[in-house]
């Protein structure tokens, strides 16, 4: 299990430039979520004709998972990059592993919950009345983590 630690160490050794860029991206994405800095949408592709072909089910599943990863990337990458920068700076493998495990659980939990409770989807959709605060809260968190990362880069905490 040395592999993830190597990337965390490498990321922490890159220098000042990359963590600053990652922090700036987190702040920009947070401002975008708060609609204070609107970014143009990425071009979309709506053709799903390839799913009708005689492609093996395992390959279809992989392609759909890959598509989900690409779609979720703009939301999750700034958070993960900020987390990796902070963990790389601290250099504590146990803290880093536990924070990355918590990130992974949070990232996968909605998918697991959706898969388990698919039969009661109508009841789950009733939660939408409270979902209006999720986007602004995510924006505030991204801005907070980005600013924290920038400040800790220029004024290291003892």
Residue 111 covered by a domain: yes
Residue 56 covered by a domain: no
Query: Which domain, by its residues, includes 156?
Result: 61-158
Residue 42 covered by a domain: no
Residue 10 covered by a domain: no
Cβ neighbours of 140 (radius 10 Å) = 13
From CA 70, how far away is CA 64, in angstroms rounded?
Answer: 10
Residue 140 covered by a domain: yes
**Nearest residue to 74 (alpha-carbon basis) of 104, 37, 109, 33:** 33
pTM of structure: 0.47
pLDDT at 3: 46
Q: Could you give the number of structural domains in the chain?
A: 1
Residue 47 covered by a domain: no
Query: What's the length of the chain?
Result: 158
With beta carbons less than 8 A apart as the criterion, state whether 56 and 3 touch. Answer: no
2-51 residue pLDDT tens: 444 444 555 455 556 777 888 888 899 889 888 898 878 766 656 656 55
Residue 49 covered by a domain: no
């Amino acid at each position: 299990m040395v592999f993830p630690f190597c990337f965390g160490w490498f990321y922490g050794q890159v220098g000042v430039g990359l963590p600053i860029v990652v922090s700036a991206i987190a702040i920009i994405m947070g401002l975008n979520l708060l609609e204070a800095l609107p970014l143009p949408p990425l071009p979309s592709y709506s053709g799903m004709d390839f799913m009708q072909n005689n492609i093996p089910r395992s390959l279809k599943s992989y392609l759909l998972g890959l598509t989900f990863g690409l779609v979720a990337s703009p939301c999750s990458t700034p958070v993960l990059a900020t987390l990796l920068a902070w963990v790389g700076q601290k250099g504590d493998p146990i803290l880093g592993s536990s924070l990355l495990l918590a990130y992974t659980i949070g990232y996968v939990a909605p998918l697991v919950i959706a898969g388990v409770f698919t039969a009661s989807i109508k009841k789950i959709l009733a939660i939408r009345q409270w979902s209006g605060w999720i986007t602004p809260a995510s924006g505030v968190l991204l801005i907070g983590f980005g600013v924290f990362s920038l400040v800790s880069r220029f004024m290291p905490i003892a």
